[in-house]
Amino acid sequence: MIEAVACPAGEETILRMEGITKIFPGVKALENVDLSVRCGTIHAICGENGAGKSTLIKVLSGIYAHGSYDGKIILDGQEKMFASTHDAEKAGIVCIHQELALVPEMSVAENIFLGNQPNRAGLINFDQMIRQAGDLLEKVGINIQGTSSGVNPNTKVINLGVGKQQLVEIAKALAKNARLLILDEPTSALTENEVDVLMGILDNLRQKNITCIYISHKLDEVMRIADDVTVLRDGQTIGSRRISDISKADIVRMMVGRELTNLFPRENHEIGEVAFEVKNYTIYNPWVSGKKLVDNVSFKIRRGEIVGISGLMGSGRTELFSSIYGAFEARSEGEVYLGGKKLSIKSPEDAIRHGIYYLTEDRKRFGLVLGMSVLENTTLSSLSKVSKMGLLDTNLERTATQKYINFLRTKTPSQLVKVKNLSGGNQQKVAIGKALMTEPKVLILDEPTRGIDVGAKYEIYKIMNQLVEQGVVVIMISSDLEEILGMSDRVLVFGIGELRGSLDISHADQETIMNVATGVKKI
C-alpha cells in the first residue's frame, strides 16, 4: 500500500521536464515544452484537444521511449531516460489513462495486481491478493460486497459499470509504489458522488507527499483540487500559475487564445409543432427475467427545441435512446413517431434511413473504427451519398470529408490519418461529422462533450443551435448539469427506468433536477 514519502532533500521541485519536443510525420506535437511540478502537490495540465497534453504524459510515463523525443526528464534532481512504462513505474511514476487499461474477463483483484501480484516462492498468493484488493477498494470508496455499492474482489471487471471500472483503475495505480501519479481525465465517467470520493483520495495522497499530475477539461475540478496549473496550446507551454493567483476565465483565455465570455451560447428558438414522439416505451432486462430497464416512457419533442436528458447512472437514459435507434439488444415495446408517421426500427440502418441518428457515448467501441482513416469513418454511415452506380467515388468522399473537417475545425494532418492517432476531442469531432453527414432529422447526442475542451465544446454548442434553426430535432443526453442548464430549452429527467418529469428551462436548476431524478420531488 502507498505510504507517506519524503520530498527531495533541499528541493521543492520533484519533477522538471525541459525543452520537450516530439515530432510525428507531418506534425510537431510538442515544441520546447517545460513543466515544473512541486513535491506533494496536485498540478493540473489544461489545454484544448490537440494541445499536446496526452503526448507530454506519454513522454513522461515511458510510452514514448527516450530517444524518440528531444528534451530532458529530471526526477528528484536526476535525469531519467525511460525505455518503457515499466522503467517509469520502477522510478515511481504511474499513469491512469483516459481509456481504461483493464482486462474485462479477469477479476477485480487480478486487474489491480496485474504484473504486480503478491507471491510466495514464485507462486501467486491469492489469499493475500484478495485481501489487499479489498483494502484498496475501500480506499477508493467501493465498499466490499454486502453494501449497496459493494464490489467483490473476485467479480469480473466486465460486470462492473464504467464508473466503478474507473475506480478499480485508480486502485490498481495505488497498488504500485507510486511517488508521482498521473491522472488523465479521471472523472469523465464518474458520478458526482464518485467524483467527491476521488477528490478525497487525491487530498489524502497530497497529505502523504504523493505528487499528482491532473489532466482535465473540467475547470471547476481544477480550481477545486489543484495547487498549480500549466496551460498548453498548440504544443507549446503558454504558462504556469499557482491556482490561488488565477481564475477560471484566465485559464480559458490561455487555453483558447481569446476571451470566451459565455461558455453556453444559448439562443432563443422558435418552438413549433410536435416533430418527434415516443409512446409507452418499455425495455425488458435481458439478464434478469421479469425486470424492466425502462418502464412505459412517453414524451413529445417539438421542432425548435434542444431537449436535455438528465438522470443519474442507471436511470435508463442510454438504454432508451439506443433502443429507439435499434442498437440495444433487448426486447422492447412501444411506438416511435417522426412527423406524425409511425416508424418501424429494427436496426441502426432502419433508424438512419428514417432520419434518426444516435451518437453513442462510447465512441471508441461503438462510434468509430479506430483503425480506419478520418475519411473512411466520416463516410461510413453515408456510403450511398458518395457512390455512383454502387461504386465509391473517391472525389465525392474527399469533398464531403473535408466539408466536415472544416465545419468542425477538426485537427488532423490529413483525411487519411487513422482515427486512433487523433486526440480524444478530435476523435469526437470525427464521430459528429459522421453523424451530420447522414443529414439527420433527429440527432441524439449521448454525452457529446465528454473529454472535450472548452473551446471545442463551444463549437459543438453552436452547431447544435445551427441544426435546430435548420429544423433538426436535437436531443442531448448529458451528466453535466451545467451543460444541461446552459443549452437546453427543456429537460426530461429520468430515474431508475422511468421518466420522472419534464422541466421548462425557466423552472429548472441543479437542485430541482437532482430532487426529481432521485424521487425526492415529483412534478
Q: What share of the chain is helix, strand, coil (3-state, %, to 5)?
A: 35, 25, 40
**Could you give the CA distance from residue 405 to residue 428 in angstroms, rounded to a whole number?**
12
Q: Give the start-end residues of each E strand in 323-397.
A: 332-338, 341-342, 356-359, 387-388, 391-392
Asked, for residue 383, whether it belongs to a domain, the answer is yes
Domain boundary among 142, 176, 210: 176
Residues 208 and 244 in one domain: yes
Is residue 157 a part of any domain in this protein?
yes
Strand partners, 493: 310, 501
Report CA-CA distances (Å) from 187 to 94, 165, 305, 310, 447: 17, 11, 29, 18, 13
Residue 162 contacts residue 189 (beta carbons within 8 Å):
yes
Residue 204's domain is classified under what CATH number?
Answer: 3.40.50.300
Predicted confidence pLDDT, tens digits, the chain (523 residues) = 456 677 765 568 999 999 999 998 767 889 999 999 999 999 999 987 778 898 999 999 999 999 999 999 999 999 999 999 999 999 999 998 877 789 989 999 999 998 878 887 778 888 899 998 988 888 777 766 554 457 889 999 988 877 788 788 888 888 887 889 999 888 876 777 778 878 888 998 898 888 999 998 888 899 999 999 999 988 999 999 999 999 988 998 888 776 666 778 888 888 899 999 999 999 998 877 878 999 999 999 999 999 999 987 678 999 999 999 999 988 999 999 999 999 999 999 999 999 999 999 888 788 899 999 999 999 999 999 999 888 999 999 999 999 999 988 888 989 999 998 887 778 889 999 999 999 999 999 999 987 777 777 888 899 999 999 999 999 999 988 889 999 999 999 999 899 999 999 998 988 899 888 887 777 7
Write the CB contacts of 105 (distance below 8 Å, at least 6 apart in sequence).
156, 157, 158
Residue 521 has a pLDDT of 73
Identify whether residues 155 and 195 lie together within a single domain.
Answer: no
Last residue of a domain, one of 261, 278, 296: 261
In a domain, 498, yes or no: yes
Whole-structure pTM value: 0.66
In-domain check, residue 272: no
Does 388 share its domain with 408?
A: yes
Residue 493 forms part of a structural domain? yes
The interaxial angle of helices 454-469 and 424-437, nearest 10 deg, is: 10
Give the number of domains in the chain.
3
Same domain as 496, residue 426:
yes
233 and 364, same domain (yes or no): no
Q: What does the pLDDT read at residue 148?
A: 46
Task: Could you list the beta-strand ranges (E) of 362-470.
Answer: 387-388, 391-392, 442-446
Q: What is the rounded CA–CA span in Å between residue 208 and residue 197? A: 17
Q: In this structure, are 316 and 433 located in the same domain?
A: yes
What is the number of alpha carbons within 13 Å of residue 477 lying toward its C-beta?
22
pLDDT at 147 (0 to 100): 47
Q: Are residues 144 and 205 in the same domain?
A: no
| pLDDT of res. 406 | 92
- Owner of C-alpha cell 471508441: 364
Residues 38 and 137 occupy one common structural domain: no
Residues 17 and 160 in one domain: no
- pLDDT of 424 reads 76
What is the DSSP code (8-state) at residue 107?
B
Quote the pLDDT of residue 11: 62
Looking at the fold, whether 42 and 62 belong to one and the same domain comes out as: yes
Task: Choose the final residue of a domain: 125, 143, 176.
Answer: 176
**Contact predicate 209/23, CB 8 Å:** no
Q: Which of 99, 28, 20 is nearest to 60 (CA)?
A: 20
Residue 299 resides in a domain: no
One domain, residues 62 and 105 = no
Q: 214 lies in a domain?
A: yes
Any domain includes 286: no
Q: What pLDDT is attached to residue 457?
A: 84
Query: Which domain does 143 fall in, by range?
Result: 101-176
Residues 183 and 169 in one domain: no
List Cα–Cα distances, 238 to 49, 135, 258, 268, in angstroms.
Answer: 15, 41, 13, 36
